[in-house]
């Protein structure tokens, strides 16, 4: 999964490889205590580890939990530098009762619960690590409570449901399409029937969002002022490239990286700064050019590759077949270039 690959990258970003090895050895025997509290009638299951001056809140994704989504960070971040809080989002994992209330506003609701959890823990300022749906919760948190959020990293995160994402809504509730590595731990948590129920209600909530325009929180992005780092897995099957670009273009001072999974490693890296004007135009243009070249669509934007001409009525069957193949390829490249 792209998410697990990027999770490991986030750990490397926060701590050097040498430190990671030392920390893993030192902390492997230290038990991690788990806690439950009641916040406004909702059970919240969380952990808090470390005594560092920098506080981090880890926000899991769809049906995710502390250990399914953030075990690398919990185990390996330097606890002398960071205090790490991670939770099971309301209605997921051990944060029950109540069951997940999956209506079109559930991301906003989760953000409010997250803020209240940190208030109960006496942590007024913190940074966010948000994966997938947790990234959306983080965006709500940073926009609505800017005095609390210092920095933010999100990956696998979108702010609206486009036709590209909409076509996957029904498929995500079909558990037969899930990999055993992802499915089996979740069945242990929810049972198969319980997980099927959650995913049906989840897909219904997304459909309702799409039917009312598709927006989740795009209108809030300009209210985010904390330094924000956006990661995107280049082969993410559920999230198109226009999603991280939308974040980059609308969150002031944000930065983004697109990374490609290749041979079980994250080899390609494109770092794109936000265009601020004449001051960074040359650098920004070069970064975009490199990204277009990497995806083999630069020539589409320059006009060197154009839509093939109609072969005409007297064309041979072979020529018509070739024309249709060339047209299909051009449309694919042109769509990708527009998304970038």
Q: Got the DSSP string for 123-152?
A: ---EEEEEETHHHHHHHHHHHH-TTTEEEE
- Both 143 and 188 in one domain: the answer is yes
Q: Residue 27 burial (CB < 10 Å; 0-12/13-18/19+)?
A: middle
Same domain, 284 and 321: no
Final residue before a domain boundary, out of 278, 294, 310: 294
* Domain identity same for 254 and 311: no
Whether residue 32 is predicted with pLDDT greater than 80 in this model: the reply is: no
Q: Quick one: 130 and 40 in the same domain? A: yes
Asked if 144 and 220 count as a contact pair (C-beta separation under 8 A), the reply is yes
Question: Strand order in 42-49's β-sheet?
Answer: 34-39, 42-49, 82-88, 54-59, 126-131, 149-155, 228-233, 255-262, 265-273
Q: What CATH number is associated with residue 63?
A: 3.40.50.1820
Q: Is residue 212 exposed (0-12), middle (13-18) or buried (19+ Cβ within 10 Å)?
A: exposed
Kindly state whether residues 56 and 94 are assigned to the same domain.
yes
Between CA 39 and CA 44 the distance in angstroms is 7
pLDDT at 97: 87
- 126 shares its domain with 180: yes
The more confident residue out of 327 and 28 is: 327
Q: Which residue has the higher pLDDT, 213 or 31?
A: 213
Calculate the alpha carbon distances from 296 to 132, 156, 262, 290, 329 in Å: 27, 23, 17, 10, 12
The pLDDT tens digits of the residues spanning 179-223 come to 888 899 999 999 999 999 999 999 999 999 999 999 999 999 999
Query: Does the pLDDT of residue 10 top 70, yes or no?
Result: no
What is the distance, to the nearest Å, from the Cα of residue 4 to the centroid of all Cα atoms in its chain?
11
What lies within 8 Å, CB to CB, of 292 at 6+ separation is 298, 301, 337, 340
Give the C-alpha separation, 128 to 85, whole Å.
10
**Residue 36, SS3 per DSSP:** strand
Under the banding of pLDDT at 50, 70 and 90, the label for residue 51 is very high
Q: Are residues 190 and 314 in the same domain?
A: no
DSSP string, 57-79: EEE--TT--HHHHHHHHHHHS-T
In percent, how much of the chain has pLDDT > 90?
52
228 bridge partner residues = 152
Distance CA 25, CA 74 (A): 13
Return the axis-axis angle of helices 2-14 and 17-27, rounded to nearest 10°: 100
- Whether residues 254 and 324 share a domain: the answer is no
290 and 305 together in one domain: no
CB 255 within 8 A of CB 273: yes
Number of independent structural domains in the chain: 2
Residue 108 domain boundaries = 2-294
pLDDT, tens digit, 9 for 90 and up, residues 119-169: 999 999 999 999 999 999 999 999 999 999 999 999 999 999 988 788 888
Using CA atoms of 241, 242, 245, 251 in order, give the dihedral in degrees to the nearest 10. -130
Encoding tokens for residue 20? 């990671």
Same-domain pairing of 267 and 325: no
271 and 316 in a single domain? The answer is no
**Shared domain check, 235 and 136:** yes
3-state SS of the chain: helix, strand, coil percent to 5? 50, 20, 35
């Amino acid at each position: 999964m792209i998410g697990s690959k990027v999770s490991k990258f986030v750990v490397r970003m926060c701590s050097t490889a040498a430190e990671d090895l030392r920390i893993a050895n030192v902390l492997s025997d230290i038990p991690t205590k788990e806690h439950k509290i009641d916040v406004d009638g909702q059970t919240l299951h969380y952990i808090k580890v470390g005594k560092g001056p920098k506080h981090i809140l880890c926000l899991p994704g769809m049906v995710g939990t502390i250990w399914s989504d953030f075990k690398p960070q919990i185990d390996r971040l330097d606890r002398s530098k960071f205090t790490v809080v991670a939770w099971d989002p309301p209605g997921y994992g051990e944060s029950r009762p109540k069951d997940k209330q999956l209506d079109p506003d559930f991301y906003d609701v989760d953000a409010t619960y997250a803020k209240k959890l940190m208030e109960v823990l006496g942590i007024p300022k913190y940074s966010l690590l948000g994966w997938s749906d947790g990234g959306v919760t983080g965006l709500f948190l940073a926009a609505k409570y800017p005095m609390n959020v210092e920095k933010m990293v999100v990956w696998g995160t979108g702010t609206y449901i486009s036709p590209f994402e909409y076509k996957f809504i029904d498929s995500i509730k079909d558990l037969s399409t899930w990999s055993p590595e992802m499915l089996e731990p979740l069945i242990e948590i929810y049972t198969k029937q319980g997980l099927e129920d959650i995913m049906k209600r989840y897909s219904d909530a997304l459909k309702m969002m799409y039917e009312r325009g598709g927006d989740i929180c795009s209108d809030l992005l300009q209210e985010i002022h904390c330094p924000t780092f956006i990661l995107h897995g280049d082969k993410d099957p559920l999230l198109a490239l226009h999603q991280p670009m939308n974040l980059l273009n609308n969150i002031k001072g944000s930065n983004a990286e697109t990374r490609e999974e290749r041979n079980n490693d994250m080899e390609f890296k494109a770092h794109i700064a936000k265009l601020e004007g004449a001051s960074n135009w040359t650098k920004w243009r070069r970064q975009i050019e490199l990204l277009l070249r990497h995806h083999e669509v630069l020539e589409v934007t320059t006009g060197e590759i154009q839509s093939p001409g109609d072969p005409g009525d007297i064309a041979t069957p072979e020529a018509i077949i070739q024309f249709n193949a060339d047209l299909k390829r051009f449309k694919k490249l042109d769509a990708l270039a527009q998304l970038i």
